[in-house]
Amino acid sequence: MILTVTLNTALDITYRIRSLRPHSSHRVTEVTERPGGKGLNVARVLAALGHEVTVTGFTGGGTGRAVQDQLTAVPRLVDALVPVAGPTRRTIAVVDEQTGDTTQLNEPGPTVTPAEWSAFQKAYEELVPSMSAVALCGSLPPGVPVGAYAGLIRSARAAGVPVLLDTSGEPLRRGVAARPDIVKPNADELAELTGSHEPSRATQDARRRGAHAVVASLGPEGLLAVTPQGRWRATPSARVHGNPTGAGDSAVAGLLSGLVERLPWPDRLARAVALSAATVLAPVAGEFDAAAYEELLGRVAVTGSTTAA
């Protein structure tokens, strides 16, 4: 069983329109809703890959109930979300059908009280020992301490459970110092963490700050990994166009599934890149096109060396 943590869960709403024009009214051609937030996206992809997964984090209000109702339909997924008084946020993706571009609007999330944070920590510490891996994903809602992920990493490490961190800003900086097994920043997050805009140098710097392995997302150019076993670059065969919402989360699912399956790093990276691209091609945010994934997987180029980094 894999545990994904989404402290700032969301109801992802996707609007499709013919063409997005500022200062204009638009007729929506299609509306879809899905449970969202990075960790929930990761969990759905893991479940689709055949893994048993438990989701935890916060949920509240009518949007929170809608999220939980939809989670019941996901095979191999267990809902262990912790209730809060405030309503779960919504995220709005507006897809321009003419260009294929997506405009994203993200609400901040509910304010979490100290009592609610304590209840979550207790629930998390009860869940972790029975897990094969943990993913800590996304932003922190208001009220959650900025060092929250660092504490959750230390709890997982104390239980002997590998942990992946995917966040940004100060929570990332503090989390890296707690020595997670994998961190997966994008290029901007990595530059903010290290002060370097050169990905190879920045990934090595992030490892020196405490992370055992750093996998940097370079957007359409794939992934760069610096690990105790070596360094690799995984690149898709061609750039894909579509809705990028959830693409990074699918990459996390690929890395995490590869970890628990004990795949070599090149195979983990190829899976992550193929899943990410297949997510961009999917019509709904946070899903992936299974047929495209199978086709893309064999065309990911992975280069590098097993020489210790």
Which positions are catalytic? 249
What 8-state DSSP symbol labels residue 159?
T
CA–CA distance, 237 with 57 (Å, rounded to integer) = 36
Collect contacts of 13-17 with beta carbons under 8 A, ≥24 apart: 13/90, 13/91, 13/92, 13/93, 14/92, 14/93, 14/95, 14/243, 14/245, 14/284, 14/285, 15/92, 15/93, 15/94, 15/95, 16/95, 16/97, 17/94, 17/95, 17/96, 17/97
CA–CA distance, 300 with 237 (Å, rounded to integer) = 6
SS3 83: strand
Largest interatomic CA distance in the chain: 57
CA–CA distance, 309 with 247 (Å, rounded to integer) = 27
